[in-house]
A and B are shown apart, each in its own frame.
Chain A
Amino acid sequence: MSASPETTESPLPPPPSLVGGYAPLPGTFDEMVSAEGARRPHWEQMAESLDRLGRDELAVRAENARRMLRENGVTYNIYRDVQGLDRPWELDPIPLLIPPEEWRQVEAGLAQRTRLLNEVLVDIYGPQRLVKDGLLPPALVYANPGFLRPCHGVQPAQGLFLLMHACDLARSADGQWWILSDRTQAPSGAGYALENRIVMSRVLPDEFRNCRVQRLAAFFQSTRDTLRSLAPRHREHPNVVLLTPGPYNETYFEHVYLAKYLGFPLVEGADLTVRDRRVFLKTLEGLQPVDVIVRRLDDTFSDPLELRTDSFLGVAGLVEAARAGNVMLANALGSGAVETPALQPFLPGLCRELLGEELKLPGVATWWCGQPKELDYVIDHLDAVVVKRSFAGLGSEPAFGANLSSTQREKLIAEMRATPHEFVAQERMALSSAPCWVQQQLEPRPLVVRAFVSATRDGFTVMPGGLTRISHAAGDPVVSMQSGGGSKDTWVLSDGPVSSLTLLQGSQQMVRMERAAVEVPSRVAENLFWLGRYAERLEDSIRILRCLVARLAGEARYEQTPELNALVRLGVRLDLLSERFRETGASAPLEREILSLIYQAHRLGSVREVLDRLRHIAFVVRDRFTSDSWRIFNKLQSDARLKPGKIPLTEALNVLNTLLFDLAAFSGLAGENMTRGHGWRFLEVGRRLERAANVITLVQAALAVGAEGAVILEPLLEIGDSVITYRRRYFAVPQWAGVLGLLLAEESNPRSLIFQLDMLEERVAHLPRDASAPRPAPEEQVLREMKLRFAAVNLETMEVAPHAAVPPAVSGLLAATAADLRKLSDLLTHHYFSHADPRLS
Chain B
Amino acid sequence: MLYQLVHRTLYQYDNAVSVSHHIVRVTPRTLPRQRVLDFRLEVNPAPMVQTTREDYFGNTAGFLTVEGAHQTLEITARSQIEVLAGEPPIAEQTPAWETLREDCRAGAPGAREASQFTFDSPLVRRRDEFAAYAASSFPVQQPIMVGAMQLTRRIFEDFKFDPKATTVATPLEQVFAERKGVCQDFAQFQIACLRSLGLPARYVSGYLETLPPPGRPKLTGADASHAWVQVFCGEAGWIDLDPTNNLLPGERHIIVACGRDFSDVSPVRGVIVGSGKHQLKVSVDVAPVG
Q: B115 within 8 Å of A by Cβ? A: yes
From B11, B23, B115, A138 is in contact (CB under 8 Å) with B115
A276 in contact with B116 (CB, 8 Å): no
**8 Å CB interface, A266-305 against B:** 273-277, 304-305
Question: Given A138-B107, A274-B21, A277-B65, does the pair A836, B275 have CB atoms closer than 8 Å?
Answer: yes
Given contacts A152-B56, A316-B21, A840-B271, contact A131 B112 (CB under 8 A): yes
> Which of A142-150, A484-492, A689-697 is the contact stretch?
A142-150
Q: How far is it, in angstroms, between the C-alpha of A709 and the C-alpha of B273 when the chains are bound?
A: 57
Minimum C-beta distance from A297 to chain B (A)? 16
Contacts A305-B271, A841-B272 given; does A142 touch B116 at CB 8 Å: yes
Q: Which 7 A-B pairs have the closest CB atoms?
A: A142-B116, A316-B271, A143-B119, A149-B56, A841-B270, A152-B56, A317-B21
Max count, chain A CB within 10 A of own CB: residue among B48, B56, B128 = B56
Q: Which of B48, B57, B264, B272 contacts A275 (CB 8 A)?
A: B48
Given A275-B48, A841-B11, do A317 and B65 touch, yes or no (CB 8 Å)?
yes
Mask: chain B, 38-67; 1 = CB below 8 Å from A; 0 = not:
000000000011010101110000010101
Are A305's CB and B269's CB within 8 A? yes
Q: Are A304 and B271 in contact (CB under 8 A)?
A: yes
14 contacts between A and B (CB under 8 A): A137-B107, A139-B119, A141-B116, A153-B56, A274-B21, A275-B67, A277-B49, A305-B23, A306-B23, A320-B63, A324-B51, A836-B18, A837-B275, A838-B273
Q: Which residues of B contact A150 (CB under 8 A)?
A: 55-56
Closest chain B residue, CB of each to CB of A835: B273
Q: When the two chains form their complex, are residues B21 and A836 in contact, meaning their CB atoms are under 8 A apart? A: no
Query: In the complex, what residues of B have CB within 8 A of residue A15's CB?
Result: none
Q: In the complex, how many angstroms separate the beta carbon of B190 from the nearest chain A beta carbon?
A: 20
List, in ascending order, chain B residues with CB within 8 A of A306's CB.
23
Q: Which residues of A contact B49 (CB under 8 A)?
A: 276-277
CB neighbours (8 Å) of A457 from chain B are none
* Residues 807-841 of A at the B interface (beta carbon under 8 Å): 836-841
| Cα-based distance from A306 to B56 in the complex (angstroms) | 12
Residues of B within 8 A of A421 (CB): 119
Q: Which residue of B lies closest to A418 (CB)?
A: B128
Residues of B with C-beta under 8 A to A840: 269-271
Cβ of B142 within 8 Å of any chain A Cβ, yes or no, is no
Contact A309 B107 (CB under 8 A): no
Q: Is A728 interfacial (CB-CB < 8 Å)?
A: no
- Within 8 Å by CB of A149, from B264, B270, B272, lies B264
- In the assembled complex, which residues on chain B have CB atoms less than 8 Å from the CB atom of A275? 19, 48, 65, 67
The verdict on B274 contacting chain A, using a C-beta distance below 8 Å, is: yes
B18 — which chain A residues lie within 8 A by C-beta?
Answer: 836
In this complex, the member of B53, B128, B263, B270 whose beta carbon has the largest number of chain A beta carbons within 10 angstroms is B270
Q: A132 on the interface (CB 8 Å rule)?
A: yes
Contact B55 A132 (CB under 8 A): no
Q: Which size class do A's interface residues fall under? A: 35 or more
Per-residue interface assignment for chain A, residues 314 to 327, with 1 indicating a CB less than 8 Å from any chain B CB and 0 otherwise: 00110010011000
B199 CB, nearest partner CB in chain A, Å = 15
Task: Check A143–B56 contact: CB distance below 8 A.
Answer: no
Q: How far is the CA of A138 from the CA of B21 in the complex (A)?
A: 33
**Given A153-B56, A275-B65, A276-B48, A838-B112 contact (CB < 8 Å):** no
A37 CB-CB contact with B under 8 Å: no
Known contacts A142-B116, A841-B278: does B107 contact A836 (CB below 8 Å)?
A: no
Find out whether the CB atom of B116 lies under 8 angstroms from the CB atom of A138. yes
* CB pair B273 A132 closer than 8 Å: no
> Which of A143, A304, A419, A839 counts the most chain B CB atoms within 10 A?
A839
| B120 touches A (CB below 8 Å) | yes
Report if B20 contacts A (CB, 8 A): yes
Contacts of B236 in A (CB 8 A): none
Report if B280 contacts A (CB, 8 A).
yes
A836 and B274 in contact, given A137-B107, A138-B107, A139-B115 (Cβ under 8 angstroms): yes
- Name, among B53, B264, B272, the residue most crowded by chain A CB atoms within 10 Å (CB to CB): B272
A134 beta carbon closer than 8 Å to chain B: yes
Inter-chain contacts of A838 with B (CB < 8 A): 271-273
**Chain A residue contacts of B11, Cβ below 8 A:** 841
A13 to chain B, nearest CB (A): 65
Residue picked from A142, A304, A309, A323, most chain B C-beta under 10 Å: A142
Q: Are B67 and A143 in contact (CB under 8 A)?
A: no
User: How far apart sit A286 and B279, CA to CA, in the bound complex (Å)?
Assistant: 31
Shortest Cβ distance from A837 into B: residue = B275
Q: How far is the CB of B20 from chain A (nearest CB, A)?
A: 7
A841 with B271: CB separation less than 8 A: yes
* B67 cross-chain contacts in A, Cβ below 8 A: 275-276
B102 to chain A, nearest CB (A): 10
Min CB distance A709 to B, Å, is 52
A132–B280 contact, CB under 8 A? no
CA distance A323 to B11 in the complex (A): 27
| Inter-chain contacts of B263 with A (CB < 8 A) | 309
Query: Closest B-chain residue to A144, C-beta based?
Result: B119
Given A131-B112, A841-B270, 13 more A-B residue pairs with CB atoms under 8 Å apart are A137-B107, A149-B55, A149-B56, A274-B21, A275-B67, A276-B49, A277-B51, A305-B23, A316-B21, A316-B271, A323-B53, A839-B272, A841-B11
List the B side residues contacting A137 at CB < 8 Å.
Answer: 107
CB distance from B86 to the nearest CB of A (A): 27
Contact bitstring B140-179, A, C-beta under 8 A = 1, else 0: 0000000000000000000000000000000000000000
Q: Is the CB of B112 within 8 A of A276?
A: no
In Å, the complex CA distance between A132 and B264 comes to 23
Q: Which residues of A contact B115 (CB under 8 A)?
A: 138-139, 142
Q: How many Å lie between the Cα of A447 and that of B22 in the bound state?
A: 49
Cα distance A320–B116 in the bound complex, in angstroms: 24
Query: What residues of chain A lie closer than 8 Å to B272, measured between beta carbons?
Result: 838-839, 841
Give Cα A153–Cα B58 distance, bound, in whole angstroms: 12
Which residues, 460 to 512 on A, are CB-close (under 8 Å) to B?
Answer: none
Pair A305/B21 contact, Cβ less than 8 Å: yes
Task: Contacts A149-B264, A305-B21, A841-B20 given; indicate if A138 touches B274 (C-beta within 8 A).
Answer: no
From B65, B269, B273, contact of A276 by CB (8 A):
B65
**B57-86 with Cβ < 8 A to chain A:** 57, 63, 65, 67
Q: Which residue of A has the minimal Cβ distance to B116?
A: A142
Residue on B nearest A143 in the bound complex, by CB? B119
In the bound complex, what is the Cα–Cα distance between A754 and B63 (angstroms)?
55
Q: In the complex, which residues of chain A have a beta carbon less than 8 angstroms from the beta carbon of B57? A: 149
Most interface-central of B21, B51, B273 (chain A CB within 10 A) = B21
CB neighbours of A138 from chain B (8 A): 107, 112, 115-116
> Once the chains bind, are B120 and A143 in contact (CB under 8 Å)?
yes
From residue B101, how far is it (CB to closest CB) to chain A in Å?
13
Give bound CA distance, A323 to B55, whole Å. 12
The distance from the CB of A399 to the nearest CB of chain B, in whole angstroms, is 21
User: Does the CB pair B23–A839 fall under 8 Å?
Assistant: no
A273-B273 in contact given A149-B56, A150-B56, A841-B278 (Cβ < 8 Å):
yes
Alpha-carbon distance between A825 and B23 when the two chains are bound, in angstroms: 38
A770 to chain B, nearest CB (A): 15
Chain B hits for A320, CB < 8 A: 21, 51, 63
Q: Which residues of chain A come closer than 8 Å to B275, judged between CB atoms?
A: 836-837, 839
B-side contacts of A139, CB under 8 Å: 107, 115, 119
When each residue 149-162 of chain A gets 1 if its CB lies under 8 Å from chain B and 0 otherwise, what string results?
A: 11011000000000
* Chain A window 125-140, contacts with chain B (Cβ cutoff 8 Å), 1 for yes, 0 for no: 0000001101001110
Taking the closest CB of chain A, its distance from the CB of B270, in whole angstroms, is 4
Least CB distance, B61 to chain A, in whole angstroms: 9
Residues of A within 8 A of B19 (CB): 273, 275
Q: Which of A138-191 contact B (CB under 8 A)?
A: 138-139, 141-143, 149-150, 152-153
* Contact indicator per residue, chain A 380-407, by CB within 8 Å of chain B (1) or not (0): 0000000000000000000000000000
Closest to A308 in B: B122
Smallest CB-CB separation from B67: which chain A residue? A275
**Residues of the A chain whose Cβ atoms lie less than 8 Å from the Cβ of B126:** 419
Bound-state CA distance A317–B21 (Å) is 7
Question: Nearest residue in B to A152 (C-beta to C-beta)?
Answer: B56
